[in-house]
């Protein structure tokens, strides 16, 4: 994580402005919102493309505004009695999957 840019923003509006500016320059940034009820399994989403990961807080997750900002909502499949992970653990698992997919793509080329 220390080799990747991490940004905290007070509002989704600042993020949307930045993403729109990147897209206008030809960088197809995908906003991936992490949510325990996400429609896409984290292992099934293509994270080899430019991605901005949105992670909410541990109590309520992402607000509706942040969730709506996402192009895709990803979930970590969890089995057993637990229903969710804390925010740091969820972000770690997703960042690991992003790194795994990107490394695999590099090795294929």
Condensed to tens digits (0 to 9), the pLDDT of residues 59-95 reads 888 999 999 999 999 999 988 887 778 899 999 999 9
What is 86-100 written as a DSSP string?
A: -HHHHHHHHHHHHHH
pLDDT at 8 exceeding the cut of 80: no
Q: What is the pLDDT of residue 34?
A: 94
Condensed to tens digits (0 to 9), the pLDDT of residues 41-58 reads 999 999 999 999 999 888
Which residues are within 8 A (CB) of 39 and not within 5 positions of it... i.e. 6 or more apart? 72, 73, 75
Q: What is the pLDDT of residue 2?
A: 61
d(CA 99, CA 86): 20
Q: What architecture does CATH give domain 12-108?
A: 3-Layer(aba) Sandwich (3.40)
d(CA 68, CA 41): 18
pLDDT at 21 exceeding the cut of 70: yes
**Tokens read off for 97:** 């999957």
11 or 24, higher pLDDT: 24
pTM for the complete prediction?
0.87
9 or 102, higher pLDDT: 102
How far from chain centre, in Å, is Cα 88? 12
Share of the chain above pLDDT 90, in %: 71
């Amino acid at each position: 994580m220390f080799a990747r840019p991490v940004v905290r923003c007070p509002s989704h509006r600042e993020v949307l402005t930045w993403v729109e500016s990147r897209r206008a320059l030809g960088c197809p940034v995908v906003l991936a919102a992490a949510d325990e009820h996400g429609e896409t399994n984290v292992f099934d989403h293509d994270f080899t493309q430019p991605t901005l990961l949105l992670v909410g807080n541990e109590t309520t997750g992402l607000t509706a505004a942040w969730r709506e900002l996402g192009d895709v909502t990803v979930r970590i499949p969890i089995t057993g009695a637990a229903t969710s992970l804390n925010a740091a653990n969820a972000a770690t698992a997703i960042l690991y999957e992003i790194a795994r997919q990107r490394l695999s793509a590099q090795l294929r080329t």
